[in-house]
Amino acid sequence: MKRRAVKKRPLSDMLEELLTIDAPPGAKLGLLEDSARQLAEARGRPVDAYEAVFLTQMAKALAGDTSAAAFVRDSAGDKPGGARGEAAAPALSENDRALLKKLDALGRLETRRRKKGGGA
């Protein structure tokens, strides 16, 4: 029996949808449970799942969980090894280097060089 090809939704779409639902009433937000409740009351809407996940990680980080602290740090854009919010540049493959050499030989390679004083 042949299976029909079914177009699957990207996981990111499903996750985005799921993270906007209200957090379950019994969600354990640790040390920040009261803060979350106050935030929800001030806004007039409950904390959603996305906020609950982040608050839970913050509470774990405050309790000394280093992996949760790294999650909070990275989410805030302070991930080490690159500029704020930027991913590290991928390494060039041998094929990439060969292509760059060909473009350079043809005079079609444009480069951006930093000017003195830090400007681009």
- Summarised one tens digit per residue, pLDDT across range 86-113 is 555 667 788 778 877 887 887 766 666 5
The Cα 21–Cα 52 span in angstroms is 10
This prediction has a pTM of 0.51
pLDDT at 120: 47
CB 23 within 8 A of CB 30: no
Which among 5, 46, 42 has a CA at the least distance from the CA of 25? 46
Distance of CA 80 to the CA centre of its chain: 14
pLDDT in tens, 45-91: 888 888 888 888 888 888 899 999 998 888 888 888 755 555 556 67
Average pLDDT over residues 29-57: 84
Angle at 106 between CA 100 and CA 109, to 5 degrees: 45
